Amino acid sequence: MLHPQLPQDCGRTRFNKARHRIISGEDAQLGQFPFIVRIGTRYLIKSKLFHKFSCGGSLISKFYIVTAAHCDGGVDLVRIGENDVSTDKDCDGFGNCAPPVQDIPIKRFIFENFIEDTLTNDYALIELKTPVKFNEYVQPVCLPPANIDHASSRGKMVFLAGFGRIRMQPAKYANKLQYIRAPIVNNRICSRIYHKYTKRLTNKQWCIGYSKGKDTCAGDSGGPATMSMNLDGERREYLIGVISYGLPSCGTSPAVYTDVSRYVNWTIRTLDFLGN
């Protein structure tokens, strides 16, 4: 069931109708993740405006974005609709071009009971000062049902996307939106890996990824872990996780993600109270 306070036309991409899904490679196609958001800061150098992006997020409505609570640190804007950092106009080589990116100021971060030391409850909403303009390349993702069962979810594959680091040394960040598919694994695996950093994982967190190879990395925090599900007679993309943390040496273990399904009811109550 879709949430009545949120857009009903959520979780669709340019590829849903054609039932086309890329399952290999790393470069995302134009419009494949229309809900992806970059979160960053504006600054001036010699009267010239620059942007520095440090986190990701997921668009859930024209005024709200889901991200990680730890991404709240001096950021002041979000960028929506970007696929390739190196081009002013994003096109797919087949005559299809997306509208210009939308840079929108942040009004505020909203979160509850976030514990920075252990990254517990690493979940936040960003309220925007002005509304997002939806188009074919900018669309909200759906929120999942509340309290997804973890045991039955193990082994299922999710999509992870972001503009974060793609090489450790020397450091290199993605120019083009990257994505991977990765499995949900037993939380005990991450509890063993991260016991020096935090207590064992709770049922509000997912352990997702591989023991070696593909992974999310610095700069991807707050970004989406999505799953394609048919819950209302139509296949849509649902936001099941938020990238929270991993080992400093990316690509050497699964990482920890906030379980969005545990925060759905809080999100709906918050949006209902705020009235947007």
Question: Tokens 């960028």 sit at which residue?
Answer: 79
DSSP string, 152-198: GGTT-EEEEEES-EEETTTTEE-SB-EEEEEEEE-HHHHHHHSTTTS
Tell me if 26 is assigned to some domain: no
Are 216 and 130 within one domain?
no
Tell me if 77 is assigned to some domain: yes
Are 132 and 47 within one domain?
yes
Are 249 and 269 within one domain?
no
Q: Is the pTM of the predicted complex or chain greater than 0.85? A: yes
Are 133 and 269 within one domain?
yes
Tell me if 14 is assigned to some domain: no
Q: In tens digits, what is the pLDDT along the chain, a chain of 276 residues?
A: 567 778 888 988 876 543 333 223 378 889 999 999 999 998 888 878 888 888 999 999 999 999 999 999 889 999 999 999 888 899 988 889 999 999 999 999 999 999 988 889 999 999 999 999 999 999 999 999 999 999 999 999 999 998 876 555 555 667 889 888 999 999 999 999 988 766 678 999 999 998 766 656 655 889 999 999 988 788 899 999 999 998 877 767 899 999 999 999 999 999 988 876
Tell me if 24 is assigned to some domain: no
Are 183 and 268 within one domain?
no
Are 78 and 98 within one domain?
yes
The pLDDT score that the predictor gives to residue 172 is 63
The pLDDT score that the predictor gives to residue 214 is 66
The pLDDT score that the predictor gives to residue 141 is 97
CATH of residue 212's domain is 2.40.10.10
Tell me if 126 is assigned to some domain: yes
Tell me if 166 is assigned to some domain: yes
Long-range contacts of 110-114 (CB under 8 A, 24+ apart): 110/270, 111/69, 111/72, 112/266, 114/69, 114/70
Q: Known catalytic residues? A: 70, 122, 221
User: Which residue segment(s) compose the domain that 103 sits in?
Assistant: 36-140+264-274
Are 73 and 85 within one domain?
yes
As for how many domains the chain has, the answer is 2
Are 125 and 173 within one domain?
no
Are 69 and 167 within one domain?
no
Tell me if 98 is assigned to some domain: yes
